[in-house]
Every structure is written in structure tokens, then in C-alpha cells.
Amino acid sequence: MGQQQLLLIVLGVIIVGIAVVVGINVFTASSSQANRDAVTADLTNLASLAHTYYRKPTALAGGGNTFTGWTVPAPIDTTGNGRYTATVGAQSVTIVGIGNETGNDGTGKVQVTMIVGPDKITSTTVNN
């Protein structure tokens, strides 16, 4: 082989290597975003369950316009997307979801917090 052919092979290997590294970075960013979206969707579902409990009369096993007594249902406190915990007050519930993927800081897991009130829901993403 001539020098030119060896140079082309080396150049080809370098280009393929760079393409592989870029592909891995794109996949990692995409999986982190997908996990963040999935955790947010799970939290929205849990917020809906908390609202249902709040609005349901106590005679029908609800809260009767209070969140006191509501808990994250056992079958969905841990899913394929992450783990969920709730801090319950009389007029608000704070639900925290910790995902399975590493967030943008490269060390901590994706975390989303949702605060459910009687007439509104707010969401905050940590380590997005």
C-alpha cells in the first residue's frame, strides 16, 4: 500500500470514531429527555389521582375537599420510569419523581417536583 492509501484509511477511521462519539452523545441526551418526559407524565397521572381524591366526598372514600389521607398507590410508586413519593398537607400535595436516567449535570438523576393544590398544579424540573 502506498502512503496515500494509508492516510485515507487513518482519516476514515478518525471520521468513523467521531461519528460514533457524536451518536452516543445524541442518544444519551435523548434518553435523558425521554425519561424526564415519562416522569412528568407519571406525575401528571398521580396529580390527577390526588385531585380525584380531593374532590370525592368522604362517604365515597375520598378526602372531602382535603388531601389528608391520600398516598401514592403502591403499584405505581415505582415504575419503569422512576420512583415517586408524596408529602401530603390538607390543601396541597407535593409529589417528587426521581427518574432512572442521569440528568444534564452528569451525576444526579432526573428529578421532577409537582405541587398539587385544590385548583392548580405546578411543576418544577430539577437536573433537567
Q: What is the pLDDT of residue 93?
A: 97
Look at the chain and count its residues: 128
Of 81, 96, 74, the C-alpha closest to 32 is 81
pLDDT tens digits for 15-42?
999 999 999 888 877 888 899 999 999 9
pLDDT tens digits for 29-78?
788 889 999 999 999 999 999 999 999 999 999 999 999 999 999 999 99
**All three cell numbers of 66:** 382535603
Give the pLDDT band of residue 1 (cuts 50, 70, 90): low
Predicted TM-score (pTM) of the model is: 0.80
Pick the range with the lowest mean pLDDT from 34-43, 51-60, 83-92, 99-108: 99-108
Measured between its terminal Cα atoms, the distance across the chain in Å is 51
Of 47, 98, 92, the C-alpha closest to 68 is 92
Cβ neighbours of residue 119 closer than 8 Å, sequence gap 6 or more:
none
Q: Is the dihedral of CA 28, 126, 119, 54 positive or negative?
A: positive
Q: What is the pLDDT of residue 15?
A: 95
Give yes or no for residue 128 having a pLDDT over 70: no
Mean pLDDT over the full length of the chain? 91
Overall average pLDDT of the 72-92 stretch:
95
Q: What is the pLDDT of residue 30?
A: 83
Cα 59 → chain centroid: 35
Of 106, 80, 89, 107, the C-alpha closest to 97 is 80
Q: What is the pLDDT of residue 105?
A: 78
